[in-house]
Amino acid sequence: MMKKIVSGIIALSLVFGSAAVLPQGSLFEQASVSASSATSGNYYGFDYTSYEDGTTLLTKYYEDSDTTITIPSSVNGSSKIALSTALTRYLNEETPAVALKIGPESSAFTSYADVYTAYEGAVYTSLRGQENPKYRLNIIPNGMKLLKIRENMESLLNFYDVPVVASHQNIAGIEMPSKIDTLGPYSLFNLSGLIRVEFPKKCDITLEELEESMLGYYRKEGGFAKNTSFVISCYKGSAAEKYAKNNGFRCWIVDADNNGSSNGLIDINDMDITLNKKTYTCTGKEIKPSVTIKNGRDKLTEGVDYKITVKGTKYVGTGSVTITGMGSYTGTYNEYIKIIPANVTGFNSSAFSKSAIKLRWNKVTGADGYIIYKLDEAKHAWVRAAVLDGGNTTQHFFWALNSGTTYRYAIKAFGIAGSNKVVASAKYPQTIVSTKPEKVSFKVTAGSKKATVKWSKVANATGYKVYYKTSKNGKWKGLSTTKGTSFTKTGLKSGQTYYFLVKSYRTVNGVTYLGEYDVKSVKVK
């Protein structure tokens, strides 16, 4: 029962208050031992109290200047040693020492059912009598920078289910074991000085246990904040990699054949790299694409975490993009982008005559020429009508066309890339145009104060426009727009000469095309 009460109190204190550690020695101090039978002294810098039953309690340590503290494994011939609450707290939270040892007589001592051993500067406990002992952390000296956790761990919590690693602000690096039953709740919480955590290739730690450990999080203003300054070093597909990406922590995927060669830097190739697009329009200047790089949920910053260099993106063809890791990131990532001419703008058409049309457009930067297509109405397909060399070309004529006929054209700019490869613009604007209709053949007949104009029908004409004027040098006036083939003008003056013309016209796509014309005169009766 007491074990559960203690673990609940500590879990709450980790979230809401001080991360105080309850040492193993606290229960030893509750042992029913007669004070009159105890003797005290100092051994290897430790104050101790020995009892008649052969047990010794270490209570205080004085040598603050030691970088490595040796905890005696035997006092007055007895190896039944325990650490007081105050001493355990001092070693965990106050000492500047970076490592602990047990000695000098032996490398271990016992405290009732517990066996104390040291490994890489930290003190572990296991249950006495186990053939293959499972270990728990007990003391990490306050000044320790690199924590190398031994194999065959039961938990990172002590035997009272209290987190021992949590809140050690000086720990910068942790090397995880491959065999551990569980990490334990909040076992890796509130490590503000952490720079790197390494996971071996074969590791029993699960994603659920990592989530429970609160690795990478610390307490802030009544809630949790994320430490983004450390790196998780692990193998691809591992629970550690999933944890890093799920929580937005930086992750270095270790090369199985080159473990540790990058000094903790993260290979930029292991990040999620996205170019905003792979095809760009030529501008005549170097093009640097927009890049998004994510380490889990965290977005990397250009100029801090990486830099971008480009080559061959000024001209039509294929350009290269190189992303190089900076700061905590290393390695280079290469990508290729396609540079194409811009789409043609200002594409328009006009009828030049009854058998010719004129196309015009704006010059396209970086183009080596233009391809003009014509719609084959019978086949309902675009066919190449002309290939024009020269990026400065901005107009083209098509001759020997049928009169009064509609044509549809499209245009693309193209550039010549490596190996004479033609690279065309993405889209092609279209234009609809008609040749002018044929000239109208007509005659004018004079009547009494009137004149009648008659003409022959023109193929493909939408209609006809009739004009007249009262003198040779006079101004033309419109008389009629009609689809018929005759018109009579009345109210004219007898004996006066009038001039007439008839134009055929054709309307296509909202544009009216007028045919050529002749002028004829008649003297009214």
Of 26-35, 75-84, 390-399, 443-452, the poorest mean pLDDT is in 26-35
Q: Say whether pLDDT at 29 is over 70.
A: no
Quote the pLDDT of residue 494.
Answer: 96
264 in any annotated domain: no
Residue 368: CATH number of its domain: 2.60.40.10
Question: Of 407, 434, 461, which closes a domain?
Answer: 434
Quote the pLDDT of residue 76.
Answer: 86
Spatial separation of the C-alpha atoms in residues 86 and 58, rounded to whole Å? 10
179 in any annotated domain: yes
**Domain check: are 395 and 450 in the same one?**
no
Spatial separation of the C-alpha atoms in residues 79 and 62, rounded to whole Å? 21
Q: Say whether pLDDT at 24 is over 90.
A: no
**Domain check: are 284 and 382 in the same one?**
no
Quote the pLDDT of residue 131.
Answer: 84
Residue 274: CATH number of its domain: 2.60.40
**Domain check: are 330 and 460 in the same one?**
no
pLDDT in tens, 169-196: 999 899 999 999 999 999 999 998 888 8
**Contact status, residue 240 vs residue 205, Cβ threshold 8 Å:** yes
Of 157 and 251, the structure prediction assigns the larger pLDDT to 157
**Domain check: are 154 and 70 in the same one?**
yes
224 in any annotated domain: no
Question: Of 312, 340, 368, which closes a domain?
Answer: 340
Of 100 and 222, the structure prediction assigns the larger pLDDT to 100
Tokens 């550039």 appear where?
A: 415
As to burial, measured by CB atoms within 10 angstroms (0-12 exposed, 13-18 middle, 19+ buried), residue 53 is exposed
**Domain check: are 399 and 453 in the same one?**
no
167 in any annotated domain: yes
pLDDT in tens, 49-65: 998 888 899 999 987 67
Q: Say whether pLDDT at 7 is over 80.
A: no
**Domain check: are 104 and 66 in the same one?**
yes
248 in any annotated domain: no
Question: Of 376, 404, 434, which closes a domain?
Answer: 434
Of 491 and 267, the structure prediction assigns the larger pLDDT to 491
**Domain check: are 282 and 175 in the same one?**
no
**Contact status, residue 231 vs residue 305, Cβ threshold 8 Å:** no
**Domain check: are 154 and 107 in the same one?**
yes
What is the number of structural domains in the chain? 4
**Domain check: are 367 and 489 in the same one?**
no
Residue range 118-123: average pLDDT? 95
Which residues, 6+ apart, have CB-to-CB distance to 364 below 8 Å? 341, 342, 343, 344, 345, 370, 391, 413, 425
Residue span of the structural domain in which 158 resides: 2-187+196-203
Other CB atoms within a 10 A radius of the CB of residue 394 amount to: 16
Of 35-44, 271-280, 284-293, the poorest mean pLDDT is in 35-44
Residue range 308-324: average pLDDT? 94
211 in any annotated domain: no
Residue range 443-456: average pLDDT? 97
212 in any annotated domain: no
153 in any annotated domain: yes
**Domain check: are 317 and 353 in the same one?**
no
Q: Say whether pLDDT at 366 is over 70.
A: yes
Spatial separation of the C-alpha atoms in residues 359 and 350, rounded to whole Å? 7
**Domain check: are 65 and 128 in the same one?**
yes
**Domain check: are 83 and 110 in the same one?**
yes
